């Protein structure tokens, strides 16, 4: 049994076999889980907002979809991962309170998908949207993502 | 005002005072509907990191009731109540005379009661703020979510992502028949509104 590495909001971590990446209680946030199945290296970025444009200079790049994912990919490549092997699973992006217009969760999901396309990372699974919170456990051994929810129960993608 | 981090002592005192007046109003209003069975202590005001709030509230996966009220007109922003199972139990038992089992057992009437309590509390605080600043503040109908506290807090964190990740937290103890139950309220005017409020109070 590996170590559990906690990934906070606006943060990202990389784990290798046999460790597990854990991110608690995502609401509108999105967790982007990147995996290299040859290296058995897993990366998880937990973003809060879609877009870093029009922000101040000293932004936290881990906070935004359009800056965080690329940073994670580069960090994983530095550890020996190869871009064409990387796959993505994404989860979160819920709408906890009904909102007028497009919710932050929906905008986050959209921005993440757009960024994955730009970076040429294949998205192989997603569990997104709804109106419930999720906790993510991303296993570096198998690349499996366990999504836990009080409302909906657990699923593995 | 650049962020909530930059409050000075005088500004904190003024905000605390609004909290006190609001709590007094809230106690009076609640005493009415709960037949004087509840009193409220002097509120504790903290300016706190979003990440820290989660631990104050019992960890990210703790299941709570979140009630969201939006502020519009002169002041834009939101109020978010975080109510835990003890609070919900007290309200449902006192107000509805029904035993509380767990969150799944809350029915529509229970949800309405929680919204109503939140309405009364937010009205009490916002009236205090409004009369001290002479600003018009309109409150939306409350919305409710019952889920992991971390997930609920994503909402204000995303709306106010640029505000230095700090929020105003008011903690109150509701006392009923020797039991003391905590409620937490997050008040989040946007920065422009906050500056306006502090200007009006003469503590810019």
Q: Per residue in B121-175, pLDDT tens? A: 888 888 888 888 899 999 888 888 999 999 998 888 887 765 556 677 888 888 8
CA distance B182 to A101: 34
Contacts of A104 in chain B (CB under 8 A): 154-155, 158-159
Decide if A29 is catalytic: yes
Phi, psi of A126, rounded to the nearest 5 degrees: -150, 150
Q: How many CA atoms within 13 Å lie on the side-chain side of A104?
A: 24
Tell me how crowded residue B9 is: count the other CB atoms within 10 A of its CB.
7
Residues 49-78 of chain B whose Cβ lies under 8 A from any Cβ of chain A: 50-51, 54, 59-61, 63, 66, 68
Question: Among A90-94, A102-106, B47-51, B104-108, which range has the highest average pLDDT?
Answer: A90-94
What whole-number distance in Å separates Cα of residue A117 and Cα of residue A123? Answer: 9
Provide, rounded to the nearest whole percent, the portion of chain B with pLDDT above 90: 10
**Which of A7, A14, A15, A29 is labelled catalytic?**
A29
Give the C-alpha separation, B186 to B50, whole Å: 10
Question: From the CA atom positions of chain A, what is the Rg in Å?
Answer: 14
In this prediction the ipTM stands at 0.90
Q: Measured between beta carbons, which residues in chain A are less than 8 angstroms from residue B54?
A: 25
How many angstroms separate the CA atoms of B134 and B77, rounded?
Answer: 17
Rounded to the nearest angstrom, the minimum Cα separation between B151 and chain A is: 4
pLDDT per residue as tens digits for the range A88-146: 999 999 999 876 667 899 999 999 999 999 999 999 999 999 999 999 999 999 999 99
Question: Is the CB of residue A8 less than 8 Å away from at least one CB of chain B?
Answer: yes
pTM equals 0.87
pLDDT at B36 over 80: no
Domains, chain B, ranges and CATH? 4-200 (3.40.1550.10)
B100 at A interface, C-beta within 8 A: no
Most confident of the ranges A4-13, A55-64, B23-32: A4-13
Dihedral angle computed from the Cα positions of residues B92, B93, B99 and B102, in that order, rounded to the nearest 10 degrees: 40
Tell me, rounded to whole angstroms, the distance of Cα B17 from its chain centroid: 15
Distance in Å from the first CA to the final CA of chain B: 8
User: Does B22 reach chain A within 8 Å, measured CB to CB?
Assistant: no
Contact status of A46 with chain B (Cβ, < 8 Å): no
What value does the mean pLDDT take over residues A35-60? 88
Tracing tokens 């943060």 back to the chain, one arrives at A11
């Amino acid at each position: 049994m590996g170590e559990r590495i906690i990934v906070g909001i606006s943060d990202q971590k990389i784990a290798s076999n046999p460790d597990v990446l854990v991110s608690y209680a995502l609401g509108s946030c999105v967790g982007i889980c990147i995996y290299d199945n040859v290296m058995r290296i897993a990366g998880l970025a937990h973003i809060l907002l879609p877009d870093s444009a029009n922000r101040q200079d000293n932004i936290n790049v881990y906070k935004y979809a359009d800056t965080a994912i690329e940073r994670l990919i580069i960090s994983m490549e530095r550890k020996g991962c190869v871009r064409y092997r990387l796959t993505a699973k994404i989860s979160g992006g819920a709408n906890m309170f009904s909102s007028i217009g497009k919710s932050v969760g929906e905008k986050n999901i959209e921005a993440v998908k757009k960024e994955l396309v730009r970076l040429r990372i294949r998205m192989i699974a997603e569990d997104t949207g709804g109106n419930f919170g999720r906790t993510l456990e991303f296993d570096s051994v198998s690349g499996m993502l366990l999504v836990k929810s009080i409302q909906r129960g657990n699923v593995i993608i | 005002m650049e962020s909530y981090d930059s409050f000075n002592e005088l500004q904190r005192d003024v905000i605390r005072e609004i909290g006190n007046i609001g709590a007094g109003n809230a106690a009076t209003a609640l005493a009415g509907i709960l037949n004087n069975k509840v009193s409220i202590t002097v509120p504790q005001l903290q300016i706190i990191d979003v990440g820290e709030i989660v631990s104050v509230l019992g960890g990210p996966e703790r299941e709570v009731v979140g009630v969201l009220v939006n502020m519009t007109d002169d002041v834009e922003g939101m109020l978010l109540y975080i109510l835990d199972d003890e609070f919900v139990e007290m309200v449902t038992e006192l107000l509805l005379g029904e035993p509380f089992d767990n969150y799944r057992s809350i029915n529509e009437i229970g949800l309405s009661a929680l919204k109503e309590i939140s309405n009364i509390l937010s009205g009490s605080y916002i009236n205090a703020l409004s009369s001290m600043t002479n600003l018009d503040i309109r409150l939306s109908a409350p919305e409710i979510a019952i889920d992991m506290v971390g997930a609920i807090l994503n909402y204000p964190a995303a709306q106010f992502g640029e505000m230095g990740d700090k929020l105003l937290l008011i903690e109150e103890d509701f006392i009923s028949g020797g039991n003391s139950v905590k409620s937490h309220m997050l008040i989040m005017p946007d920065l422009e509104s906050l500056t306006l409020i502090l200007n009006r109070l003469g503590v810019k």
